[in-house]
Structure formats: C-alpha cells, structure tokens
Amino acid sequence: MSSAWQETQLDTSHFERMGVSALSPRVTLRDLVTIAFHDRKRIAAAVLAGLLLTLLVVAGMPKKFTAEASLLLRLGREYVYTPETGDPSTAQPLPYDREQTLVAEAKILTSRDVLEGVVSKLGVATIYPDITANRTATPQQQAQAAMALEKALGAELLKGSNLLQVNFSHKDPETAAKVLDQVIDSYLNKRRQVFSSASNGQAEAELGARRIQLNTAEARLAAFKQERGILSFNEEQTLLLAQRSEIERRQTDINLALAQADGRKNALSNQLVRIPAEVKLSTDTSRGEAAESARKLLLELKLKEREASSKFFDTEAQVQDVRADIERVNEHLRMLEAQPPQAVRTGRSPVRDGAESDLVKSAADHSQSQSGLSALATQRSAIDKRLAELARSESELRTLERERKLAEVQYEAAAKRLRDERVLTDLDSQRKSNVSVVQRPAVPTQAESKRSLVLMLGVILSLGLGVFVAFLSAMWRDTFLTPADVQRDLGLPLLGAIPAVAR
C-alpha cells in the first residue's frame, strides 16, 4: 500500500516536472462557465421560449377599469345586545366587538345573496356579455356571473378606522361604475333584511301572548289570596306580629297584677284574723266634758294667781282667795277622774269592714284579671293560628308572586321590543341607516393593467427555466467536460490534465 502511494507521488512529481499540474475535484467558476458555454443553445432556447410565452400572455391580457367607492360604518343599535330576560329597566346593553362587527359588514357586502341580487337587477348580458348575450340567462349562467362578480369585487377596511373601501374591476368603465353602485344599494337592502328582527305582527303576537300569561299569573295570585283570606301578606303579618307582641305585654302586666292581687289578698286575710269583729264604738262623755271644763278653769285660776302674786303679797286676801279657788277646782277634778263613765256603746269594727271590703275588691280584681288573661290567651291563640296559616301559605304565595313578576318582566320586554320594531320600521321607511356612502362610484377614466408585473415575472421565470435546462443537461450528459467531472464521477485521483492544443 505504501509502495503504491510512493509510486503515485513519484508519478505526480514526474508530471509536475513536465509542466502538467495536478487538479483538485473542486468545481470552479470556470467549470460552470464551461458547462454553460457547452449547452448555450439549449439554455438560450429555453429562455427564448419563456420570454415568448410571457409576451404572448402580456399581449392577451385585457385592460380593466376599476371603480371605487367609500362607505362609513357606524356601529348602531343592531350591534348592541340587550338581554331579553330580567328587568328591562336595569338590563345593561352589551356592545359587540368593533373589529368583528366591521368584518361582518364586509362579509355582508360580498355575500352571495348581494351579488346574485346585482346580477338579477342588471342582467348577465349587461355585466358579462361573454357569458351570454341574451337578456334571459339560465340559472347556471347567473351563478357563473355571480362567481365572476365575486372575484372582481373587493372590500377592504382601512386599518384603525370605520371606512370601508369597495372596488370593482371591469373592462368597460361605465359598467364598472354601474355594477358597483348597484352592489352598494343591494348591500344596504340586504343589511336592513339581516338586522331587522321579527316583524311588527310577530312582536304584537308575542306581546299578546305575554299579556295573557301576565293576566293568568295575576288571576292565580288573586284566587290564592282570596282563598286564604290574604289582602296584603306583609302588612297583615306585620300587624299580627305587632298585635301578638302587644298581647304578650298585656299578659305580662296582668300576671304581675295577679301576683300583686294575690299578695294583697293574703295580707288582708291575715289581717282579718287579727282584727276583732266587735269594738267599743262610744262612751258617755258628760263626765269627760266636766273634767275638761274643770281643767280649763284650773288653768285660768293659775294664770290669775300668777298675776295676783305679781301685784300683791302672798298674805294678801286677793292672793289667798285665788289659791282657795284653785284648791277647790283640783278637788273637783280628782273626783271626776276617780269616777268611771256610766255608758259604753259597742258594734262591728270599721277597720275590719274596710279590710273585708278591700279583700272583696281584690278578689273582684283578681277574677277580672283572670277573665282578661283568658280573653288575651284566646286572642293570642287566634293570632298564632293565623300566623301559622300565613307561614304555610308563604311559600306558595312567593312562588305565585315570582311567576307574576316574571310574567310582568317578560311583558315589559315584549312591549319594549314592539316599540323598537316600530322605531326600526319608521327608520326603514325613511331609509335611514348606520351606513353612510361617503363616495359614490364614479366612471373610471384610466385603465389598470398588470402587464409590467407579468412581464417582470416572465423574465425571471424564463431565466430560471434556462438554469433548470442547464441543470438537466449536466445531469443527463454521458461525457466529461472538465477534469473535475472525471475525478468526481469515477472516484479516482486525477494526476493531471493535458489541455487540448488547437491544430
């Protein structure tokens, strides 16, 4: 193996000494140019064929006129959702997403119904006479015209605005403007159909059904109240609770009064035991009166003695006489006091009579309180019974009231929808809409053509076709054009190449 490698090296150096260089298998620019020069006829033919085909396509491209129009889309009530259930007065409207609504408007404008309406209005022969020249077109021809119209119609929303740009291309400028104008009218009509809800007749029928439902709920509620004797549940329940509270307060007061009456009756009974039935009512008071007169006279005499003593001596007759009178009066008074009264009168004790009277009155009050307490207990029992009846009826009553409330809310919602329908009908009759035509389509004066773009693409594709032909020629060639091809295809080391010498 080493000897062969040495021989190869010697041979190589031998060739190098002869002026022949060893070549590497790398493909160079010269090799590529050599290949291109060798297949120049095929490459040129492919490029020329592509250019010729491009010229034919450009020559056959018709000129088209594009009519343009602008529409301003305002988000109105049709893009606001109002809940159909619940209280209409507190329902919060929910607007739809702005981007989605604008895209929806663009989809309505380019919808098949709008385009078929335009074709039916103007006729296939007016828009596309190539499809049919007859005024009466078949359904297949109308569908074909609608598809062609859809391809030629464009709608674009300007970014960040509510402006919709609409365009339509046609080879006739007047037809382009006429078709686009009809597309806008058909779109506005279609839009009114899409966003118009139930008709007035349907809304009125719904309102009538809701009215019957409300009347039925009210009749059931009224019949239930009449059957249970309920006029106003909350007021009656509040009144009964207040009456029961008042009765409980009165019962407490009566029980307290009964306890006090029992205590007073026991005290009077114990007192009667200690009070005698017979007491001394009066005595003979004649001797008492004489004694009283004697005491008064004695007092006067003592005063007179003092006065006389201040004026005279004790030995004087005036003083001695007064003292003698005093002694006689004292003696008489002692005699009166020593003798008892001659007559005493007895009878029933007034204190016992008063106590017995109080006892009878206490017993009467006790009996009356007992009767009042019994009457209050009867009233409370009746109130408790009525409250129990109301409690048993409350659940069904609340259910009927909720049904009536729900029916009332649905009736109000139906009435609101009917009012909205009438407003929308008035707006439709006045042809008012939330879409405004900013610019009507005008007849275009300058044709638009894509010949330059097609020509540029054709040149690029023709050059690519030439490169592709050169690649196929190199792949299918069974000879070698360069030394690198020999070394690469045969897998043998190339010692050198001897250029051909022209003769």
pLDDT in tens, 193-220: 776 654 556 778 888 888 899 899 889 8
* Alpha helices (H) along 89-161: 98-109, 112-122, 124-127, 139-152
Overall CATH class of domain 65-195: alpha beta
Q: Among 255-259, 279-283, 384-388, which stretch is predicted with the lowest mean pLDDT? A: 279-283
The residues near 304 (Cβ < 8 Å, ≥ 6 apart) are 322
Calculate mean pLDDT across residues 391-401: 86
What whole-number percentage of the chain has pLDDT above 70?
72
Q: What angle do CA 329, 334, 338 make, to 5 degrees?
A: 150
Determine the longest span between alpha carbons in the chain, in angstroms. Answer: 222
Q: How many residues in the chain? A: 503
pLDDT at 342: 54
The residues near 84 (Cβ < 8 Å, ≥ 6 apart) are 413, 417
CB 275 within 8 A of CB 349: yes
Q: What is the pTM of this model?
A: 0.42
Residue 164 has pLDDT above 60, yes or no: yes
Calculate mean pLDDT across residues 447-469: 76
CB 264 within 8 A of CB 361: no
DSSP for 264-288?
HHHHHHHHHHHS-SEEEEEE--HHH
Burial 23-55 (b: 16+ CB within 10 A, else e): beeeeeeeeeeebeebbeeebeebbeebbeebe
Task: Residue 127: name the closest of 89, 169, 69, 158 by CA.
Answer: 169
Pairwise CA distance, residues 75 & 71, whole Å:
13
DSSP for 437-492?
EEE------S-B--HHHHHHHHHHHHHHHHHHHHHHHHHH--S-SSHHHHHHHH--
- Going from N- to C-terminal start, the domains of the chain cover 2-60+449-490, 65-195
* Cα separations in angstroms, 105 against 75, 331, 441: 10, 145, 19
Calculate mean pLDDT across residues 26-47: 71
- 491 conformational bin, left if phi > 0, alpha if psi -120 to 50, beta if neither: left
Residue 431 has pLDDT above 70, yes or no: no
pLDDT in tens, 211-244: 899 899 889 888 888 888 887 888 888 888 898 8
Residue 451 has pLDDT above 60, yes or no: yes
Which three-class secondary structure state does DSSP give residue 154?
strand
pLDDT at 200: 56
pLDDT at 14: 42
Query: What amino acid is encoded at 339 in this protein?
Result: Q
Calculate mean pLDDT across residues 179-198: 78
